[in-house]
Amino acid sequence: MKKILVLCTGNSARSQLAQGYLQHFADISDHDMSDHGARVEVYSAGVDPKGVNPLAVQVMAEDGIDISHHTSNHADEYVHIPFDYVITVCDNAREQCPFFPSVGEKFHQSFPDPGHPETPDSPAEDKLTSFRRVRDLIKVYSQEFIDSHLSES
């Protein structure tokens, strides 16, 4: 069984969205393969967990994925698991966790923080719109990741 860990700062939004989509696309991929297809287990964690953001749950439900059962966990809780892939989805997590004790392959793809939508270079948007925009970015990345790294497994 392949194991994926998604790391973010607060484990409240971006890593939760990615966990939901990675598991979703892995399950679809497994379903399309023979009974001997790879099984995938996806975890998410943060370097400073804040709890799952209700807007993350809401925007995923809008896309038919239930993450209401997800919990916000600290990265230290998973050091004993031999991950095949460790993905950081924000620069802060990458900086605070440059080394995660795993032999797994490391990936980094930074996504904007949907909880802080206003930035100097972009027009103001409300938080729900920001969550939807970031959700859509993570959805594309997650599908491409599964297609690239787990379709043949």
Q: How far apart are CA 26 and CA 60, in angstroms?
A: 16
Query: Percent of the chain at pLDDT above 70?
Result: 79
Tell me the pLDDT of the chain averaged across its residues: 86
Locate 64 and state its tokens: 């038919």
Predicted TM-score (pTM) above 0.85 = yes
Please report the pLDDT score of residue 96 as a whole number: 59
Helix, strand, coil % over all residues of the chain, rounded to 5? 40, 15, 45
> Which of 6, 4, 5, 3 lies closest to 89 in space, CA to CA?
6
CATH of region 2-149 = 3.40.50.2300
Catalytically active residues are 8, 90, 97
Looking up tokens 């966790």 gives 97
